[in-house]
């Protein structure tokens, strides 16, 4: 059974009653609908006067919990004292809800008074094999609300939390813990979960994987999420560094689109990728409409979608970084890495892609970024020379796309009109380095493009500006590729300036 208004609950994990009171006010000021007083975190059990004092000042609804160690909590004392404390807290109220673990016999439950009873179960090791039966038993219990939290062993399993919320006959809070379960916390509102937890700050979480209140309400647009929200995300491993959530959520905010973009940690391996995709597509009500794909899953995405449903150049590059999912579950794969780079270049040169034909381009590097750019340049018939530290890699890439290959230190001898750096040289912290140094830029050069965006102003770009050349930045490329994703998914023009500003803020 779903709840019309999902509560954003802030767990209070302070060690003293006084600190808990301070945090309670701060949590409410940051937009928590409910605070969970985690009495098991307190160094000393409070007396009635302290409880009355604390609860009388609560600016938001209060959930009382004293989690025993057997359920992943901090309370190691006697069960009798623990249940006695819960009963006292309810009496000293006002208390909106009290949490009772499912393994407590109903005859031992404290008298709830005006409070609603949350019947809970926690599994910090795995997703219970009998999850459905467990929640069915909660439905049949004397409790008012069901709560189940588990640690998924893979990202696909995390989605089971939504299944039980949808199937239960009572208001239910179901969530998957840890980074793979973040989706279940952030989309709780979409599925009418009874609540979801967000901590006051990153060190105050009561269970792994909780976003902070500021992240939930800011970065992830908690308040804008509802039943019809379209879901987007970035798939990769690791994923916590990704700028995707900031840039795409800012874009959705700016255009007023009912959409959310989440980080989706999918462990390495094609089997993990496929398992998640199968699980997500088997749940059309999830509303998954698009995915950015990053390391190590770009090749897996191409294999999963199949060449026939992927952009021709994405197939040649061998990597899909953008998946678009239609309302009927049809998949399409694209590579906006190449599109972002080529369009950034053409925009600055004020030419069409077709006008790249015949121009001499030297690409420095032979890794993933170089591969996408070389494939696109060759496709548009530019004359490409690949220069790389490891010459054999340059030769292999050049052979594949019909280009020339040279060692990196011969880059200046290639007489290019356009130089594109796709190596990591000049990237923070090595900001004093340039891939063309100490040699001056070749006199033939008219355009310098550095794909490195951290720092924004690389030494190579400075060298180009000092010579009065046209410069293209890694930021131009990055914003363009994200904008191309937005356009693929929505069919609308992206709010490029908002996206650029968001990346700049993140980088600065």
> Which residues are part of the catalytic machinery?
122, 147, 298, 337
By beta-carbon proximity to ligand NAP, the closer residue of 369 and 460 is 369
- In the set 260, 477, 499, 503, which binds ligand NAP (CB under 6 A)? 477
Name the token pair of 235.
Answer: 């798939």
Based on the shown chain and the rule CB under 6 A, indicate whether residue 414 belongs to the binding site for ligand NAP: no
Name the token pair of 236.
Answer: 């990769």
Cβ-proximal residue to ligand NAP, closest one: 367
User: CB–CB of 269/299 below 8 Å?
Assistant: no
Based on the shown chain and the rule CB under 6 A, indicate whether residue 474 belongs to the binding site for ligand NAP: yes
CA distances from 23 to 19, 27, 43, 296 (A): 6, 6, 16, 40
By beta-carbon proximity to ligand NAP, the closer residue of 97 and 420 is 420
Chain-centre distance for alpha carbon 199: 17
CA distance 366 to 506: 28
Stretch that binds ligand NAP, among 257-265, 310-318, 376-384, 473-481 (CB under 6 A): 473-481
Based on the shown chain and the rule CB under 6 A, indicate whether residue 452 belongs to the binding site for ligand NAP: yes
The phi and psi torsions of 414 (rounded to 5 degrees) equal: -100, -5
User: CB–CB of 310/473 below 8 Å?
Assistant: no
By beta-carbon proximity to ligand NAP, the closer residue of 110 and 435 is 435
Q: Which residues pair with 117 in a beta bridge?
A: 98
H-helix or E-strand spanning residue 487: helix 474-490
CA distance 442 to 410: 11
By beta-carbon proximity to ligand NAP, the closer residue of 17 and 398 is 398
Q: Which residues in 362-381 contact ligand NAP (CB under 6 A)?
A: 365-370
Based on the shown chain and the rule CB under 6 A, indicate whether residue 424 belongs to the binding site for ligand NAP: yes
Task: Report in angstroms how near the CB of residue 486 gets to ligand NAP at its nearest.
Answer: 15
Based on the shown chain and the rule CB under 6 A, indicate whether residue 388 belongs to the binding site for ligand NAP: yes
Stretch that binds ligand NAP, among 24-32, 301-309, 472-480, 494-502 (CB under 6 A): 472-480
Based on the shown chain and the rule CB under 6 A, indicate whether residue 202 belongs to the binding site for ligand NAP: no
Task: Report in angstroms how near the CB of residue 212 gets to ligand NAP at its nearest.
Answer: 27
Is the backbone peptide bond immediately before 429 cis, with ω within 30 degrees of 0?
yes
**What is the 8-class DSSP label of residue 95?**
-
Based on the shown chain and the rule CB under 6 A, indicate whether residue 460 belongs to the binding site for ligand NAP: no
Stretch that binds ligand NAP, among 319-327, 350-358, 388-396, 441-449 (CB under 6 A): 388-396
Q: Give the residue among 226, 293, 234 at the shortest CA–CA distance from 263.
A: 234
CA distance 486 to 251: 8
Residue at token pair 């900031």: 246
Q: Give the residue among 417, 452, 447 at the shortest CA–CA distance from 434.
A: 452
Based on the shown chain and the rule CB under 6 A, indicate whether residue 168 belongs to the binding site for ligand NAP: no
Name the token pair of 212.
Answer: 């902070």
Task: Report in angstroms how near the CB of residue 340 gets to ligand NAP at its nearest.
Answer: 6
Stretch that binds ligand NAP, among 202-210, 286-294, 346-354, 474-482 (CB under 6 A): 474-482
Q: Give the residue among 103, 21, 37 at the shortest CA–CA distance from 74.
A: 37
CA distance 415 to 348: 20
- In the set 390, 409, 428, 465, which binds ligand NAP (CB under 6 A)? 390
- In the set 451, 463, 471, 490, which binds ligand NAP (CB under 6 A)? 451
Based on the shown chain and the rule CB under 6 A, indicate whether residue 6 belongs to the binding site for ligand NAP: no
Q: Interface residues with ligand NAP (CB under 6 A)? A: 337, 365-370, 388-390, 393, 408, 422-425, 427, 451-453, 474, 477-478, 481
């Amino acid at each position: 059974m779903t709840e019309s208004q999902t509560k954003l609950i802030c767990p209070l994990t302070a060690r003293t009653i006084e600190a808990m009171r301070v945090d309670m006010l701060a949590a409410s000021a940051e937009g928590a609908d409910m605070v969970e007083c985690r009495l098991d975190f307190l160094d000393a059990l409070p007396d009635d006067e302290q409880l009355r004092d604390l609860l009388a000042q609560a600016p938001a609804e209060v959930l009382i919990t004293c989690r025993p160690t057997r359920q992943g909590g901090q309370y190691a004392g006697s069960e009798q004292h623990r249940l006695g404390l819960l009963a006292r807290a309810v009496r000293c109220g006002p208390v909106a809800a009290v949490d009772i673990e499912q393994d407590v016999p109903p005859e031992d439950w404290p008298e709830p008074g005006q409070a609603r009873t949350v019947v809970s179960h926690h599994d910090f090791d795995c997703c219970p094999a009998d999850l459905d039966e467990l929640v069915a038993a909660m439905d049949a219990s004397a409790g008012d609300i069901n709560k189940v939290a588990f640690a998924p062993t893979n990202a696909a399993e995390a989605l089971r939390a939504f299944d039980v919320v949808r199937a239960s006959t009572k208001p239910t809070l179901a969530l998957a813990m840890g980074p793979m379960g973040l989706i279940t916390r952030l989309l709780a509102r979409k599925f009418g979960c009874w609540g979801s937890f967000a901590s006051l700050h990153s060190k105050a979480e009561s269970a792994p994987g909780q976003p902070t209140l500021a992240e939930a309400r800011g970065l992830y647009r908690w308040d804008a999420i509802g039943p019809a929200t379209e879901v987007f995300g970035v798939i990769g491993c690791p994923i916590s560094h990704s700028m995707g959530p900031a840039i795409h959520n800012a874009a959705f905010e700016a255009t007023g689109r009912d959409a959310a973009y989440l980080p989706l940690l999918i462990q390495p391996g094609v089997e993990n990728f496929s398992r998640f995709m199968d699980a997500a597509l088997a749940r059309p009500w999830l509303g998954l409409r698009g995915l950015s794909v990053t390391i190590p899953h770009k090749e897996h995405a191409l294999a999963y979608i199949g060449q026939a449903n992927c952009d021709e150049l994405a197939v040649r590059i061998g990597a899909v970084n953008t998946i678009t999912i239609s309302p009927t579950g049809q998949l399409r794969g694209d590579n906006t890495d190449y599109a972002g780079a080529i369009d950034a270049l053409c925009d600055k040169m004020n030419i069409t892609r077709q006008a790249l034909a015949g121009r001499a381009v030297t690409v420095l590097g032979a890794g993933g970024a170089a591969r996408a750019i070389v494939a696109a340049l060759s496709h548009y018939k530019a004359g490409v020379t690949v220069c790389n530290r490891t010459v054999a890699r340059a030769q292999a890439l050049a052979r594949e796309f019909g280009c020339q290959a040279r060692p990196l230190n011969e880059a200046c001898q290639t007489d290019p009109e356009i130089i594109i750096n796709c190596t990591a040289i000049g990237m923070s912290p090595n900001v004093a380095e340039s891939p063309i140094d100490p040699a001056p830029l070749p006199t033939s050069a008219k355009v310098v493009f550095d794909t490195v965006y951290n720092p924004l102003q690389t030494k190579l770009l400075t060298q180009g500006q000092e010579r009065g050349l046209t410069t293209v930045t890694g930021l131009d490329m990055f914003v363009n590729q994200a904008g191309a994703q937005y356009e693929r998914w929505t069919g609308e023009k992206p709010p490029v300036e908002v996206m650029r500003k968001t990346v700049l803020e993140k980088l600065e």
